[in-house]
Structure 1
């Protein structure tokens, strides 16, 4: 499988932010479902963003001084997130992906591996903006064109950890959905699963005309093929790699 490296990152498509900046809904185990139809958010581009940072307890935090701080005392004045980026976040490579099934029966995946970035105005109507390897504040973003919602049967948005990186218990990740109308929707990946390599975060399904977002947050110990088996997608998978930057 080909890999993504050195490709020019395209500017993300325009999207409607609605009033998402002033309000939010958090999907939890107790309240796992929200209807985009009921909040009038079934048109335009649904923006899905993944962001993460190292847990401060895993990078030393402020509780114990290290040699670097003794040599550079001014670093102690930096905010925690800045210290996290300078001390270890470059070792974390969380990737955002999406399994899709369209109403015509076609299935596939949008993800960085294999340069499978999708398409917004053509099938699968799902597009990945790029591959963030460093936990930058902007993170990774997927756009879903809901103007073609009648052609989308179901979607499964997932996160996986690339080879030779810390596990989910060492990162704090959050996936945020920005619909065209209504509040943003937040799903936190807070559970500690030291050996997990992938996590199904949420699904989108058209249920009798009602476009429903459901929190999944199911951690698995394999990669995309295991998520495929769990949700019955039936795709053929091969091992993919990324080159060094």
Structure 2
């Protein structure tokens, strides 16, 4: 049996076929992990030595910005239906019922070791036309620079597909991470890492869905 693969999707090699890796059923787990400046400062304060060191680390922690990243998935079905799975609006989805995609938790700080996790049920892949993974800053100042955000897709048997959210431009508050779709008869993941800024429009989900021609309509929501 071929051992599970670890593949980094990069600008030079942005596409991978799940079929060629034997990942055609079961669950794909999508993990978003990042380090917020506030969480990093808190850790530094805990590791600081001496009174002066602890005071300095505490001051840095007090001034560090907090940020809440939200992972989501826009889904376009083969029958023309469209929906989204995200924390906003409590649209957490379901693994075993439509839309066969589910978000398991909402990491509000970036401090949780497990990050945010989303699960896709490939047993129902025939119902998916496109799955667009995206992330945006729900709350907090600044942009993605310095957050070291990484998204990893892991199959049931351990195949890992990794996307680093790098080359973030100033003011980028959202990113289309990866697109999962059928191409030439195979299910593929393509690295997108397409950044969006406030200049692109006020409603980030609407801007992203229009950029990918998903034809979705949006209403205001909270979490």
Query: How do 1:60-71 residues align onto structure 2 when only pairs under 5 Å count?
Result: 71=51
Residue 196 of structure 1 and its aligned partner are, at CA, apart by: 1.2
From 150, 161, 165, give the equivalent of 1:189. 165
Query: What is residue 114 of structure 1 aligned with on the other side?
Result: 89
Q: How many residues align?
A: 211
Query: What is residue 140 of structure 1 aligned with on the other side?
Result: 116
Query: What is residue 189 of structure 2 aligned with on the other side?
Result: 213
For the pair 1:239 / 2:183, whether they are aligned, the reply is no
Q: TM-score, normalised by structure 1?
A: 0.76
Confirm or deny: 8 A CA contact 1:174 1:189 kept in the other structure: yes
**How far apart, CA to CA, are the structure 1 residues paired with 2:63 and 2:123?**
40
Residue 138 of structure 1 and its aligned partner are, at CA, apart by: 0.3
Alpha-carbon distance change, 74 to 113 in structure 1, aligned in 2, over 3 angstroms: same
**How far apart, CA to CA, are the structure 2 residues paired with 1:200 and 1:35?**
19
Alpha-carbon distance change, 146 to 75 in structure 1, aligned in 2, over 3 angstroms: farther
Q: Which runs of 5+ in 2 are unaligned?
A: 199-203
Query: How do 1:80-99 residues align onto structure 2 when only pairs under 5 Å count?
Result: 91-99=66-74
- Say which structure, 1 or 2, has more relative contact order (CA 8 Å, 6+ apart): 1
For the pair 1:45 / 2:27, whether they are aligned, the reply is yes
Q: Which runs of 5+ in 1 are unaligned?
A: 1-17
CA deviation string 1:8-33 (max 9, x = no partner)? xxxxxxxxxx965xx52110000000
Q: TM-score, normalised by structure 2?
A: 0.83
Query: How do 1:72-87 residues align onto structure 2 when only pairs under 5 Å count?
Result: 73=53
From 167, 172, 176, give the equivalent of 2:143. 167
